[in-house]
Chains A and B, each alone.
Chain A
Amino acid sequence: MTLASVTEHVRSGMTVGVGGWGSRRKPMAMVRELLRSDVDDLTLVTFGGPEVGLLCAAGKVRRVIYGFVSLDSIPLDPHFRAAREAGRIEATEYDEGMFVAALRAGANRLSFLPTRAGLESDVMTMNPHLRTVASPYDDEVYVAVPAVRPDISLIHLNRSDPLGNGQFLGPDPYFDDLFAMASDKTLLSVEKIVSTAELTATERSTSLLVSRMFVNGVIETPRGAHFTSCDPDYGRDEEFQRHYAASAQDEESWQRFRETFLAGDEASYHEAVREFHGVYA
């Protein structure tokens, strides 16, 4: 499928899972496609990075369910911070382990999973919907983390075949396989689509973590995680990320950033990034 068809699947009001982790292997090309669309009122489920900031800045976010929102080398996304401080978005802030439990419960089609994490912390205060559950075997009490099942998840991997068998080549799969299993639908974007045989020609089969069973569409979109990292294909574009964060500081700089990078299609985005780095085709 093409990048443009992302919006045939992602509709306003949906709960959208986003793979990757912080500023690492985020499906940024698909996120940029959402920015070009009129999709809004989204609930994001994510170990958040710049996708949260960009979608918040575009006014497309109603709620974020998150383990954290960070740009890694920059502790917090400035647009997310601004949206939180202005009260423009609802926040479901979980302990990171609770966040994983919520996804696992969703993937297992359970109503909840128990965790010790969260007990006696203000995660319980900040999320009044949370309940505890008593063990039927002893006197222990746990947090019953309710399942999260996204309507659709967006994930980005290094390679896949045309059927949607996805491959991670970097050091960490993050939670992309879990997102795919916990969601009603999943769209996979990759750096490169190759033949099924080519996937394991030089790589171990243990890199094939995302099965076509859990993928509804594949999009080849080179540098589709930019400006986040996509090891080993490319690292994070730190210089551009700093520019993104600095541009968020005031309306005028942000307007300029949008006009320069986000006003056109994916090809013109990458062209503008090359120009930003002083590389002229």
Chain B
Amino acid sequence: MSDREKPLRLHVPEPSGRPGHATDFSYLRLAPAGAARRPQLQVRPEDTADLAASLVRVLDDEGRALGPWAPELAPERLRAGLRAMLVTRIFDARMLLAQRQKKISFYMQCLGEEAIAVAHAMALRDGDMCFPSYRQPGLLVARNVPLDELICQLLSNECDPLKGRQLPVLYSRRRDGFFSVSGNLATQFVQAVGWAMASAIRGDTKIASGWIGDGSTAEPDFHNALTFAHVYRAPVILNVVNNQWAISTFQAIAGGERATFASRGVGAGIASLRVDGNDFLAVYAVSQWAAERARHNLGPTLIEWVSYRGGAHSTSDDPTKYRPADDWQRFPLGDPVDRLERHLIALGEWSAEQREALRRDIEAEVIAAQKAAERHGSLVDGRVAPADSIFEDVYAEMPAHLVRQRAQLREELAAGRGSGS
């Protein structure tokens, strides 16, 4: 080895903040509210490169809506959005508690990410299909899905529409435009593209919306989705929710160091935007822009929503083991609920009294829904779908081998009761 040649060194990215010392959020590439331009719907993908490296924001720190992306949303719509975000948050808190009380086996919150799913859903139309990950319950809340039906799934009880086959939060709601959530990451991202291709093949007017987290962009299906969406100009919105964390892994390990996830879209020939995910108005405006592009046959749009995972990854996770305990409080883009409330107050459309009344209403609504759902049993009391229903829906019609296995299980169950066990 010559003097000039130093030994090679493997680079392993690390977050700046760890338990006990604060995160340096300067890596986030922030931009002031109102600064990012709003391109024409017909923008060429390569002409969005600057926006993929910047940040679309509407709401400033005083709650003012600034710049070309400020949407025209009536105060009632803003309050509806605020309500849906709060329902999502209070529902999450209540279900987290229910999990700690061992009423449900598992739960995942979306604390801090409520604006993204809620405002996005409000910008879509009935009939558009979302292909969510496990952290977009706001899509369901914004579409007014009865909470007790969701809780029945969480409890795996007799009224669970999925018959106890799926882990809690892996909902499926076709009629609400919410595709069946899979435990396998990223798979749904390319399926969304296929759904959109189908809509185009049939000359329909519906669009698809695919969802993925920052960590899962490393899966091959992320790249498959971008390639197919670009090649066939599929009417799809490709949402990357960058909440900075994949369980314990900082987004730099997913490939986010000195790069944005939005820029991947530009590289694949897809119009791409990077957006403040905690800014309800920006989420709504950009989602509407992307939906209009898709509806006008102008092709797919990739959106990186910059946000922060406010809570633990799941009820099986303890984030104090790998990140600062006060990280969310220090996150520069704040809390989406607070920021929209500040905006409504600035407009003279909201008050502290209304805020307290709304929270009380929602608390009561969620508690009532939980009680209604618990009347149908739970995993704990064993009031679940019949054991022999496990053989149904494997195929359209039950094949002979499953009929035999069902008969065997029925015999086992009958024998078990006979012996008193």
- Are A and B co-members of a single complex? no
Q: Which residues of A contact B (CB under 8 A)?
A: none
